[in-house]
Amino acid sequence: MAKALLARYADSITMPDLRVSPTTALTPGQVKTDVLSGLTVALALVPEAVAFAFVAGVHPLVGLYAAFMVGLVTAIFGGRPGMISGATGALAVVMVALVAEHGVEYLFATVVLMGVLQLIAGALHWGKFIRLVPHPVMLGFVNGLAIVIFLAQMSQFKVPGTAEVSGHGASGGEWLSGLPMVVMLGLVALTMAVVWLLPRLTKIVPAPLAGIAITAGVVILFGLDTPRVGDLSSIEGGFPPFHIPSVPLTLETLQIILPYAVILAAIGLIESLLTLNLVGEMTGQRGGASQECMAQGAANVLTGFFGGMGGCAMIGQSMINVKSGGRTRIAGIAAALFLLSFILIASPLIELIPLAALVGVMFMVVIGTFAWNSLRILFKVPLTDAFVIILVTVVTVYEDLAVAVVVGVIVSALAYAWNNARRIHSKTYITPEGAKVYQVQGPLFFGSSEGFAEMFDVPGDPSLVVVDFADSRVVDQSALQAIEAVAAKYEAVGKQIQLRHLSRDCHKLLSKAGHLMVDSEDDPNYALAVDYNVRTGILGDH
């Protein structure tokens, strides 16, 4: 019965089921699918990059250059084929204060330093620590990001040039009304219908690309008056020029850019590594965290020297790519190269695409990203897990991803520590020789040290007491303090306490602290039940 309930719980908290084979053969059909998927992603990247450039207070080309260079480098060297990187709102909202106070050159220098910090993180293999993020935090992450993506599209329903877009959506501005709003909503619905229906008929062309093409064709054919990409800004430009940031190489400059670089590097890596895990679950791939850190770092160093605003993984565009069939590095490379071609030669054509088509695609991404089953399981999972899911979702929307993940991990860790602290208890028996044995069960650490001390009956125990750790572990300094405190109480009344069945790590920890009066390698292997006497006074007065 318990196994059945556990299985049902595990099944109910899985991410959206988009699994494919872990290995994808590079056939002509797959190459075609990857290229078309890359084209779809590139079209969706344009308004996002332009909007986030506005958020950061820089020229739209700064955002587009970042999307091209970060996307290209991470597609080639990143830890997971299928991921898409570019300029993101999570980074843009941090950059705006730096640009406003010190100018865009300081932003470029910050992006270079951000990349260096990410390279260091990759070289030190810090990416592996993303495994400490619990599953409820992941659910909150995808739900929060889905809501943020949805809110970011609201600016497209306002009169072009009047809305202020942030990482959390649009604020201010004049909403479309009357016929323009009706046309906008109708075109969004048309795009969503195509994206939903086409895969049921054919998979020759990625559904999002078909949705954009059909909606754009309707607008151009009937001459409908609706906002287009060109209404945001012109995307015409040249190849990104090499440019060393024009900032003084002084300690004062470092003091200005270092705090921003640390924050941007942390946010970029957290969002990238969580997206890496999400895409890995969808495509059945594993590994690559440190490689992704290195790729993100190299991409941002390069971007800073070519006039880009920096970036990280983009969950929305990654979802578009995966759902469009993109499975190899070709998809990400194609997306970056298509984006560059838009800037160099195809800007007049791209600027004709209606924003409604891109909004419709992103709305379908929101529907596919949000973990709808998390709503169904909120009353089935432990209360702490349900609270963490909601908390991370809310903090992601109202603050940013990095804060949300840190908060979620801290709350989960505290809940875990509390649950383990309540688990410690003991069984007792008297040996034929008259000694009393306490069989400790549960980990002994800072959270359970008080409960450990309360288990012993110092006045009523015999002259010899044995503490058996066969079913326990001595974890930290608080545990050492607790053992010594108990030993001191017995010593004060003329009684002796011994430790038995220490595991090898516990034995090492206690020996290093100077608590064990006998040094043996037998007991850690449980070959012999050696009893260790305990020294007191090692950690000071109590």
Look at residue 445 and tell me if it is in a domain: yes
| Same domain? 368 vs 439 | no
Which residues are paired to 437 by β-bridges?
429, 466
| Same domain? 204 vs 350 | yes
Look at residue 16 and tell me if it is in a domain: no
Look at residue 406 and tell me if it is in a domain: no
| Same domain? 152 vs 282 | yes
pLDDT at 172: 58
Of the candidates 426, 372, 348, 484, the residue with the CA atom closest to the CA atom of residue 15: 372
Do residues 195 and 364 make contact, with C-beta atoms less than 8 angstroms apart? yes
CB atoms within 10 A of CB 430: 11
What is the spatial distance between Cα 466 and Cα 214, in angstroms, rounded to a whole number?
79
| Regions of the chain with pLDDT less than 70 | 1-25, 161-173, 286-287, 503-542
For residue 62, give every residue at least 6 positions away whose Cβ sits within 8 Å of its Cβ, in sequence order, or none. Answer: 53, 56, 104, 307, 308, 309
pLDDT at 163: 57
Question: How far is the CA of 233 from the CAs of 54, 303, 373, 459, in angstroms?
Answer: 10, 21, 39, 82
Look at residue 396 and tell me if it is in a domain: no
| Same domain? 165 vs 301 | yes
| Same domain? 183 vs 36 | yes
| Same domain? 224 vs 321 | yes
| Same domain? 204 vs 299 | yes
pLDDT at 248: 93
| Same domain? 467 vs 351 | no
| Same domain? 364 vs 428 | no
Token couple for 157: 């329903």
For residue 489, give every residue at least 6 positions away whose Cβ sits within 8 Å of its Cβ, in sequence order, or none. Answer: 456, 458
What is the spatial distance between Cα 423 and Cα 411, in angstroms, rounded to a whole number?
19
| Same domain? 372 vs 427 | no
Judged on CB neighbours under 10 Å (0-12, 13-18, 19+), 291 is middle
| DSSP string for residues in 237-271 | --SPPP-------SHHHHHHHHHHHHHHHHHHHHH
Pairing between strand 436-441 and 464-471? Answer: parallel
| Same domain? 373 vs 429 | no
pLDDT at 475: 81
| Count of domains forming the chain | 2
What is the spatial distance between Cα 402 and Cα 233, in angstroms, rounded to a whole number?
30
For residue 259, give every residue at least 6 positions away whose Cβ sits within 8 Å of its Cβ, in sequence order, or none. Answer: none
Look at residue 122 and tell me if it is in a domain: yes
Do residues 83 and 313 make contact, with C-beta atoms less than 8 angstroms apart? yes
Domain interval for residue 486: 423-513
Q: What is the CATH number of the domain that holds 508?
A: 3.30.750.24
Look at residue 135 and tell me if it is in a domain: yes
**Which amino acid is residue 382, in one-letter code?**
P
Question: Could you report the per-residue pLDDT of 497-520, keeping only the tens digit for each?
Answer: 888 887 666 666 666 655 544 434
Token couple for 102: 């010190």
Token couple for 116: 């260096």
pLDDT at 505: 65
Q: Quick one: angle between helices 104-123 and 289-305, nearest 10?
A: 160
Do residues 44 and 316 make contact, with C-beta atoms less than 8 angstroms apart? yes
| Same domain? 434 vs 366 | no
Q: Quick one: angle between helices 207-222 and 315-323, nearest 10?
A: 100
Look at residue 263 and tell me if it is in a domain: yes
Look at residue 9 and tell me if it is in a domain: no
Question: Could you report the per-residue pLDDT of 188-229, keeping only the tens digit for each?
Answer: 999 999 999 988 888 788 888 899 999 999 999 989 989 888
Question: Could you report the per-residue pLDDT of 362-371, keeping only the tens digit for each?
Answer: 898 888 888 8
